[in-house]
Each structure stands twice: as structure tokens, then as C-alpha cells.
Amino acid sequence: MVGKTLTEKILERASGRVVSPGDVIEVAVDVVAFHDLTGYHVIEVMEKTGNVKIHNIDSLVIAFDHLVPPPDVRSAEIQQHIRLFARKHGIKNFHDVGFGILHQVLIERYVLPGQVVMAADSHTTTSGALGAFAQGLGASDIAAIVLTGRTWLTVPQPFKIKLTGALKEWRTGKEVALEILRVFKADYFNGMSIEVFVDNPQSFPMDYRVTVANMGIEMNADTLMFVPDSVTVNYVKTERGFEPKTITPDPDAEYVDEYTIELDKVDFLVAAPHSVDNVKSVRDVWGTEVDYVFIGSCTNGRLSDFEIAAKIMKGKKVKSRCIAVPASWNVFRKAMELGYIQTLVEAGCIVTYGTCGPCIGGHFGIAAPGEVVVSTSNRNFVGRMGSPQAKIYLSGPAIAATTAVSGKIVEPGDVM
């Protein structure tokens, strides 16, 4: 008998049947979530079905992030509508303006290894960092889950990625995510679930895993999960005070294919305009002048990102305008205690917390036509951060911070 992958084990538990890749199955969903911008749409769909009866209040999470703080009346109205809905239905896991970006809130407080997580936002894959089967869905699908507790899906083909060795200085999970996109491009993993095995768990901390899982959707993977190990267990213990049960794949599980990344060989990389798989070595774009640097988002708005940015910016002044957004109140507070926020503010960055505004080109820092942007976020599509004529380079936190203080794309070694 062939062993089972992590994907199969989780989906067998959630569907109560034996599953194989390609099967269309119904699963019970452990955590279902939405934010402000998709939330009003989720509620609209629920209301149109004529019977808004929430299946399981405990499994539902709401966090406001996209329209935070509300930049116009319509945004304020959307939030007010969801707030009143949450109150009316007695939703406990409701996080208003300023608490954090939904995906960050989910990993900090709700998601556990082995769960099925579905949220009305594509970057729901982020929760895969903890070894959960996590997928983004549209508002209607999420409405259906809130009402019924279940959804359907096609069991993805499992693909194994192994990480060996350790990263060189200043390289993080972002460089690894970009390396995967450089090798496989944005369409290769469509219909697959990526299971990532870390050879030496300590070499790849939780923050890095979250970045890679976050960008699973950029690889068009159905989901991207880190196989739970000691880092996973320690993270849950520290954040939530208890030891989680974990599910791991069988040693003889079969994958459609596998690929090994030797971390020591991972270079500084950027995704050049206008696609996330247009990956180049930093040396190939070296010296590109940059107008605006954005550090943050659900991809790179965690403590280690701010630690790196602060180390590089310490005692320097920014030459490109800089906006920095920790992914949650929790990260902001810790970064404040450790002095990172002060360093960034003294360098001339604008720092706020828990908003998607700049990342989605919504508010709080929009790119003008012709401007060149370096962003630690996950998407550089045409028009993503404002004007369709802006050019966006995606990078890790070290390259972004280095760029901010030098006004052009260079490596940390050039400014330290």
C-alpha cells in the first residue's frame, strides 16, 4: 500500500472518504473567513438566498483590512454594514479596523495544522505555512460555506518541494518564493498542491514560510503547505499557548514530481514589471532608479521583515519615498518595542498598520503614471498599485530597504 500525502490526509479527514487526485469531493470547512472588501459581497449573496442562518459561528472569522482606515464614504458604509451584520448575528471572531490583515490574523489566532481553511481572498494560501489546506474563494462560494459549513473541490495533484541547507545573509522566504516562480513560472502548478519539506526546520523560520505560502497563489497552486515540524509546533505554542496536534505525510507517499532548492544558492531576486514570474537577479536590474518603496502586506509585513528593514535603514535617510505597513497590530506593537518602527520613522518612512491600501492600489500611497515602485508585496500586474503606467518590482525586505535609502535598486552590501 502506498502512503498518503499531507493533501490526501487532510482531505480524507474533511470529506470522510478515501480520496485520490482528480476526485471531486465535498469537504467540511474548519475555518471560513472574509474581509471588508469581499465581506459586503458575501453578505449580499447570503441575503439573496433568502435565509441567512450561519452554520457555525465559531468557525467564522472577519477582519477589516482592505479599506482601512476607510478612505471614502462608500468604504465607511461597507464596513458599517458588515459591523452591523456581525453584531446582529453575534459573531465573536470579528476584528474591526486596525487589528490586522486577515491572513495575518488567521495565522496568529485561528488556524491550526491539518485544518481546511477557506476565505474570500486569494491569499488565503498564507495559512498553508502552518500545514493547513487553505484556499481562497470568491464571495459566493464563501457565502455558501458560511451557510452550509461545506464546499466542493477537486483533489489536487501533490508536488513535493524540498528545502535544504540555509539561506545566506539578508535572503528570506521572499527570495525562495521568487526562485520557485523563476524556475516554474506562474502556470505550472495549476491544479496541484505543493507540499514543502524543510530539511533543517530551524533554517527556515515561520515568517519565511508564511511568505512562501502566501505566494502559492502567485504560482497558481491550489494550495501550498509546509509539512508541520518543530517550527510549526513552537509557533503555535508561543502564539497561542498550547501544543497543536499535527498531521504529516507518510514517508512513502507518492508525488507527481519533486524539486529541491538548495537554500545556500538562492540569490537576491526581483519580479520585474509586469508579471510575478518575470524574475531577474538583482544584478540584472542594478541601479534602476526608484520613486517609491512599499514595505509590508500579507507577504512581507512581519517582524523579521521589519527587523531587516530597520537594520539596513538605521542611521540613514530615505531617498525614495517610503511607506511601511506591519501586517497586524500585534506585529506593529512588537516592532515598536524592539525600536524598528522608530528607526524607520527616523529614516523618513510613513508607518501605519493593518491596511491593504498601498498593496491593492486602493489608498494610502498610490503610484503615479511612469513611476517606478519597489514593493515587498506579491503582485506587480498592470495597474495593481495605482496607475497602469507605473512599473512595479517585487522584492524581499532587504532589497526594498536598501532601495529606499539609496534611491535605486542595489544590494545591502552596497549600502552597509
Q: Where along the sequence are the contacts to another protein (CB under 8 A)?
A: 24, 37-38, 40-41, 44-45, 48-51, 67, 74-75, 78, 120-122, 135-141, 143-144, 147-148, 152, 186-187, 190-191, 217, 220, 222, 275, 360-362, 379, 381-384, 388
How do strand 257-262 and strand 157-164 relate by DSSP bridges?
A: parallel
The CA distance from 201 to 198, in Å, is 5
| Nearest distance in Å: CB 411, another protein | 29
Q: Which of residues 109-128 bind ligand SF4 (CB under 6 A)?
A: 121, 123
User: Where do we find the cell 530597504?
Assistant: 401
Q: Which is nearer to ligand SF4, 198 or 298 (CB)?
A: 298
Range in contact with ligand SF4 (rule: CB under 6 A) among 42-50, 67-75, 244-252, 356-364 = 356-364
CB 131 within 8 A of CB 228: yes
Q: Which is nearer to another protein, 108 or 121 (CB)?
A: 121
- The sheet carrying 94-95 orders its strands as 94-95, 60-63, 31-35, 116-119, 133-136
| Nearest distance in Å: CB 368, ligand SF4 | 20
The CA distance from 200 to 173, in Å, is 15
Q: Which is nearer to another protein, 55 or 321 (CB)?
A: 55
> By CB under 6 A, is residue 63 in contact with ligand SF4?
no
Range in contact with ligand SF4 (rule: CB under 6 A) among 12-20, 199-207, 224-232, 355-363 = 355-363
Contacts of 344 (CB under 8 A, 6+ apart): 295, 306, 309, 310, 313, 322, 324, 351
Cell of 87: 453584531
Q: Which is nearer to another protein, 74 or 283 (CB)?
A: 74
> By CB under 6 A, is residue 377 in contact with ligand SF4?
yes
* Burial class of 387 by CB neighbour count within 10 A (0 to 12, 13 to 18, 19+): middle
Q: Which is nearer to ligand SF4, 295 or 410 (CB)?
A: 295
Alpha helices, DSSP H, located in 16-134: 36-48, 73-88, 102-105
- With residue 192 as reference, give the H or E element that holds it: strand 192-198
Residue 286 half-sphere exposure, CB side, CA atoms within 13 Å? 10
> By CB under 6 A, is residue 316 in contact with ligand SF4?
no
DSSP 298-361: HHH-SHHHHHHHHHHHTT---SSEEEEE-SBHHHHHHHHHTTHHHHHHHHT-EE--S--TTTTT
Q: In this structure, what are the phi and psi dihedrals at residue 307, rounded to the nearest 5 degrees? A: -65, -45
The CA distance from 158 to 375, in Å, is 31
Q: Which is nearer to ligand SF4, 136 or 228 (CB)?
A: 136
Q: Which is nearer to another protein, 44 or 289 (CB)?
A: 44
Q: Which is nearer to ligand SF4, 7 or 395 (CB)?
A: 395
Q: Which of residues 250-309 bind ligand SF4 (CB under 6 A)?
A: 297-298
> By CB under 6 A, is residue 101 in contact with ligand SF4?
yes
Q: Considering CB distances under 5 to 8 angstroms, the limit depending on partner class, which of another protein, ligand SF4, none binds residue 101?
A: ligand SF4
> By CB under 6 A, is residue 356 in contact with ligand SF4?
yes
Residues near ligand SF4, by CB under 6 A: 65-66, 101, 103, 121, 123, 297-298, 356, 359-360, 377-378
